[in-house]
Structure 1
Amino acid sequence: MADPADRALVVLAALAGVLGVALAAAAAHLDNAPSLLTAAQFLLFHAPALLGLAALAAGARTHPAVTRGAAFALALGLALFSGDLALRALAQRPLFPMAAPAGGLLLMLGWALTAVAAVWPVRR
């Protein structure tokens, strides 16, 4: 895995995992924090996806550029969506207006790009 983008994706996956575990633990100790648990679940569900996309791109199993674009869209979507939910739960304020919906749209775009990367022919 020599590409710096792939290494960055692994780091982002690890951060998603760490933050997902931390938010899940915080949600377990706070009364009535369903949005915090949702943020944690999104982070934990997408961390392995980011790892998988980095591996697919590094091995050129899917179109590398599109796969990396998909992964970075997922990572940014996670930051906006989960970040907004967590900030609302912990600080009672939003990240910025429409951050969670924008993050959700980026997550959907990332998954759609993942499908495109899978069907786009890989040049060897």
Structure 2
Amino acid sequence: MTHKLQALVRFLAGLVGAGGVALAAYASHGTSDPSLALPAAGILLAHAPALLALSLRSGRGQTVSAIIALLMAAGVALFSGDLASRIWTGSRLFEGAAPLGGMAIIASWLMICGEALVSAFRRT
């Protein structure tokens, strides 16, 4: 992963973490119905550290880590963005945005599993 891409992913990790805290605060203090804000906040807060960890990867596997990080960030943006859009505008980003984001997030975690297995059995 290039230095600029690492910096971008770290920036996204910070943005995702801040968004998670903001949505958690909104769910606690800004609405009487936190049913959409809480899952969005949870997804954001769970994935900010994962993005940060992926951005810190060095050596072998950096390219795979970059792909995983970008897929994860896109999934988080679609999932949480769709819920946030429904909170503040009453409409979805687009039909199927949250499920598509969720599938991208799941795929990114499965890619981490795959990369770990390949790494464990790689002959150096």
TM-score, L = length of structure 2: 0.89
The aligned residue for residue 72 of structure 2 is 74
Cα deviation, 1:86-121, whole Å, max 9, x if unaligned, reads 111222110111000000010011111112222334
The aligned residue for residue 56 of structure 2 is 55
Q: How does 1:1-124 map to 2 (within 5 A)?
A: 3-28=3-28, 29-56=30-57, 59-60=58-59, 63-121=61-119
Mapped partners of 2:17, 2:25: distance in 1: 12
Structure 1 residues 123 and 70 mapped into 2: Cα distance closer, same or farther (>3 Å)?
farther
Mapped contact 1:63–1:118 kept (Cα < 8 A): no
TM-score, L = length of structure 1: 0.89
- Unaligned 5+ runs, structure 2: none
Mapped partners of 1:112, 1:6: distance in 2: 21
Distance apart, 1:36 and its partner CA: 0.8
Q: Secondary structure at the match of 1:96?
A: coil
- Identical columns (%): 39
Q: CA RMSD in A?
A: 1.9
Mapped contact 1:73–1:110 kept (Cα < 8 A): yes
Mapped partners of 1:91, 1:9: distance in 2: 28
Mapped partners of 1:2, 1:64: distance in 2: 8
One-letter amino acid matched to 2:50? A
- Unaligned 5+ runs, structure 1: none
